[in-house]
Structure 1
């Protein structure tokens, strides 16, 4: 990095991290409703014979579309960015299209239509998400990435909570779609309005190079998200078949709400530390709490105990999220950030496919009945989370430390 580049970087007006992260709140509200409750509930409504396997088909179909969409939009938006353009058009187009697809999803009357609507939601959402993931390096200095990442982690948790509240308390399907659409559109307008008056940081076009540290970060992240999506996907079935909750859908929404609200606290705790300490240690601290919580779920049979465990798990996951974003911004190439982030985010989209597919295969192979299936799933989740935590130590210490310590 040249002296001239550093001077230019220092002179640029910096966008505020909180408004940049507002759109992440709206996006995550949609995922909090769909991935945590609505996919499972709608699968049960339209494919009651085998709702667990139906959920797997739905999740795999949508996540496959998401992965491809992110890569394509990431490449296109990076080319636009390198020519002096910005990524706002992707944010707006994706949010508007996703709003329409949400009404389609919640009004689907057959399982086949539900699959098509899910794919539509995933494509539209990821038209926005692919380019949006580069917003921190586009507008925030590297030495402030930890704080900005904390805001992203906090808004992700709060957005997931808003989605869980919506789908738990708002019963008419059309009303659920309307609330989620309002949150999505309002949040994108807030973020776009803020960055209109902010100058983007200088960037030079760069080729995507899979450095060893980036590959290790990808593998670690993928393993962690496999564990996360197993827990998220099978929580409703755990409450229904193991805890025997009176209203499993409502109980699942409450668990996700508690998890995500406490996740915002965890992100705040982890964010400022991500600018001061070895980020590998922060990731492992957070995930240790999550693994212990998953083990505790296996022994919990009381809804109140489940809620308490979810709070601990949420704090741990929030700590991980703050360090995760900071590591990504530090390791990936700034000149092709959206493309790199899209590839990096395959470690999130891929597990949306792998988690239900792998778990469904294991449950079929073991001939697990309904009472045992969620416990098998949670055991697999704990193993994936532990493996991801161990793998991150392959990243060199010099890379994992914030700039202030190097």
Structure 2
């Protein structure tokens, strides 16, 4: 850091753009993080559910993913709040990033050698807690270091990192030759991808005089952000929740969709190929969408367009159960998700209530990412088994996404 950056208060709004080296490092760290997340979600957990539960694999996967997501729902805002109050000489966020990486590696190793579904569930819960500690700290670093007019662009790179991580995770799981190799490969990649960001040690130190006094009552009440006092934050949270729920409803059973509806001869490899197609499509829009949003100083219209495009992609999956339709559907979904992920982060940062609570508030925001993982299998399992199968499932996903695309216009303080 420069001397001016070293002396800047951790609570000040950043004035200078974050350097490109930092943007590249935090983006690569996100690739590692999402590799560790999506390798299990897209492939490895499904393989273990099939191994240990057989014909009940859908319900088993729903339980594992759902319970793990509940853990992430709690861990993300709690770690964010703790990082807000951390006065370590290494900074507020970086110590939690390192703890998250170490815990994530240990959890993935436990999952690799899990002997039954109970241990898989425990391992995934621990992984969700650790990886969400990392995610909370990295996300909070963006408003700490990036000014308003750079956040859409950085959101674009972080959105790109998410999709690349999904491809790398699915690829490692498929190429490693089994469950054990897949988990260990994801763990090693998490460490390698995170190393440059950690080594930079670019973090602001919180002056102990700026740290608010602590009481358990105040700490716990702080996780409730009143919609009456902060309506724009509430609407932005709901928009993110609905968009992610629509996406998660389709994603959680993608492996089974290829197996049971498309009848793909190798569903694990199919998930990898579809993830690659989704990533390539996202490349077209994710950075450009965030950059254009910064230049036009507009957020809402980009979210609406993204929602419409995403709904078109899921409707393709609903209407045509073929490999060609699956490729087209995930490609269109990628185009929309690219715009949404880049602009949404900037929009959420723009409506945060207080600088001192950035980590905690962004942790509450990230519940809108993790809670859909809880609800998606709850919604998807009965839809697939009772209410009409995968056509109905993806139609529901489209409707949920379109609702979020409309409600973004209830936000008034962001254009």
TM-score (norm 1): 0.89
CA shift, 1:23, in A, is 1.2
How many residues are aligned here?
Answer: 388
2:5 equivalent in structure 1: none
1:312 equivalent in structure 2: 332
Alignment of 1:318-357 (within 5 A): 318-332=338-352, 333-357=354-378
Counterparts in 2 of 1:298 and 1:51: CA distance versus 1, 3 Å: same
CA shift, 1:200, in A, is 7.0
Q: Once superposed, what is the RMSD of the aligned Cα atoms?
A: 2.5
Question: Separation in 2 of the partners of 1:87 and 1:400?
Answer: 27
Alignment of 1:263-278 (within 5 A): 263-277=282-296, 278=298
**Residue 151, structure 1, aligned to residue 151, structure 2:** no
2:261 equivalent in structure 1: 242
Q: Does structure 2 conserve the Cα–Cα contact (< 8 Å) formed by 1:132 and 1:338?
A: no
CA shift, 1:350, in A, is 0.7
User: What SS does structure 2 have at the residue aligned with 1:109?
Assistant: coil
2:414 equivalent in structure 1: 400
Question: Separation in 1 of the partners of 2:347 and 2:174?
Answer: 34
CA shift, 1:198, in A, is 6.1
Which residue, out of 14, 21, 29, partners 2:18?
Answer: 14
1:373 equivalent in structure 2: 389
Alignment of 1:217-296 (within 5 A): 217-277=236-296, 278-296=298-316
2:217 equivalent in structure 1: none
Q: Does structure 2 conserve the Cα–Cα contact (< 8 Å) formed by 1:235 and 1:374?
A: no
Q: What do the CA deviations read for 1:101-157 (whole angstroms, capped 9, x no partner)?
A: 112112222111111111111111112112221011111122211111111111112
Question: Separation in 1 of the partners of 2:90 and 2:36?
Answer: 31
User: What SS does structure 2 have at the residue aligned with 1:133?
Assistant: helix
Q: Does structure 1 conserve the Cα–Cα contact (< 8 Å) formed by 2:238 and 2:368?
A: yes
Question: Separation in 2 of the partners of 1:201 and 1:322?
Answer: 28
CA shift, 1:82, in A, is 10
CA shift, 1:77, in A, is 0.5
User: What SS does structure 1 have at the residue aligned with 2:253?
Assistant: helix
**Residue 67, structure 1, aligned to residue 87, structure 2:** no
Which residue, out of 120, 124, 130, partners 1:118?
Answer: 124
1:404 equivalent in structure 2: none
Of residues 108-117 and 75-84 in structure 1, the stretch that sits farther from structure 2 once superposed is 75-84
Q: Does structure 2 conserve the Cα–Cα contact (< 8 Å) formed by 1:13 and 1:199?
A: no
Question: Separation in 2 of the partners of 1:385 and 1:237?
Answer: 22
CA shift, 1:299, in A, is 2.6
Question: Separation in 1 of the partners of 2:351 and 2:237?
Answer: 11
Structure 1 alignment gaps of length 5 or more: 402-406
**Residue 90, structure 1, aligned to residue 104, structure 2:** no
Question: Separation in 2 of the partners of 1:84 and 1:93?
Answer: 13
TM-score (norm 2): 0.87
